């Protein structure tokens, strides 16, 4: 089996886990979780992120921050697939007393690097970590995933200009550019374009890709990690609800769980995709 096929199968598993855990919870954010699957899969399973599920306190591990914390299901599914948490724990999403809260909470799940969900704060947290690594002369790097709706927050741009000015080349950001936010398209609410030029103006190294192309995701993440002299951002153009026909670009599923009939349709579609991948291999 090729590495790319292996990663695509992991992505398929993560998508199945996302829709199942949100359906069981009867609440959550499937759209923005599904759009980030390839980037998260490439990061955790493609040899990019330096991490060890058997040694979660490893000082020289790379750090990952899910700034758009409402997409927690994609992170929880990846952590389960990597062996950080038991898979059966996914069924407890958003339940009272569960470590898998609706937004990542480090007080309840210690393997997280940060509690997130207050939009706009993830890069700032990452800056603190990146500065600490520089000051202590440590080799580890910081990765953060932000959203395009989240990028309406002024704190994103304060962070961008600060990191660019201080040449924090151990800071890498992924922008999940799926074109939608809470109740409408990002273009209608607050158009971010020209997005690439904004980040270039902040003195960042900018990489622009199809965020569902696994090969492109691997190349981009590798390029970001080895780039020196400035922080890097990957603008990943994605589809909200990717992988499930009735969820794709359907903003109803920004924050709505699938019902039982929709869950079964979603799982059937994902199984067909999996079978096709296995046959192609």
Binning pLDDT at 50, 70 and 90, where does residue 206 land? very high
How, if at all, do strands 205-210 and 232-237 pair?
parallel
Q: How many CB atoms lie within 10 A of CB 38?
A: 30
- Domain extent listing, the chain: 3-280
pLDDT at 93 over 90: yes
Binning pLDDT at 50, 70 and 90, where does residue 220 land? very high
pLDDT at 86: 98
pLDDT at 62: 98
Instruction: Please tell me the CATH superfamily of domain 3-280, with its number.
Output: Thiamin diphosphate (ThDP)-binding fold, Pyr/PP domains (3.40.50.970)
Handedness of CA 129, 36, 116, 120 (dihedral sign): positive
Angle between helices 37-45 and 72-82 (to 10 degrees): 30
CA separation (Å) from 178 to 32, 208, 257?
Answer: 8, 13, 19
pLDDT at 171: 99
Angle between helices 3-25 and 260-280 (to 10 degrees): 170
């Amino acid at each position: 089996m090729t590495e790319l096929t292996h990663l695509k199968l992991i992505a398929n598993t993560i998508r199945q886990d996302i829709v199942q855990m949100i359906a069981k919870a009867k609440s959550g954010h499937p759209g923005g979780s599904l759009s980030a699957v390839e980037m998260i899969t490439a990061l955790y399973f493609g040899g990019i992120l330096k991490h060890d599920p058997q040694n979660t306190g490893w000082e020289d591990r790379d750090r990952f921050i899910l700034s758009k914390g409402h997409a927690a299901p994609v992170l929880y599914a990846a952590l389960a697939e990597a062996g950080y948490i038991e898979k059966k724990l996914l069924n407890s999403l958003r339940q009272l007393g569960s470590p898998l809260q609706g937004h990542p909470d480090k007080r309840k799940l210690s393997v997280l690097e940060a509690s997130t969900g207050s939009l706009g704060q993830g890069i700032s947290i990452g800056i603190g970590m990146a500065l600490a690594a520089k000051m202590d002369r440590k080799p580890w790097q910081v990765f953060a995933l932000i959203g395009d709706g989240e990028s309406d927050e002024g704190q994103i741009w304060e962070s961008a200009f600060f990191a660019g000015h201080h040449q924090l080349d151990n800071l890498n950001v992924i922008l999940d550019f799926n074109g939608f936010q809470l109740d409408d398209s990002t273009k209608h609410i607050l158009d971010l374009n020209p997005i690439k030029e904004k980040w270039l103006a902040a003195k960042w190294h900018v990489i622009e890709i199809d965020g569902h192309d696994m090969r492109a995701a691997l190349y981009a993440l590798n390029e970001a990690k080895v780039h020196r002299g400035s922080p890097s951002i990957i603008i990943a153009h994605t589809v909200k609800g990717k992988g499930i026909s009735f969820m794709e670009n359907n903003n109803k599923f920004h924050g709505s769980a699938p019902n039982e009939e929709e869950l079964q349709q979603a799982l059937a579609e994902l199984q067909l995709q999996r079978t096709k991948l296995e046959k192609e291999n």
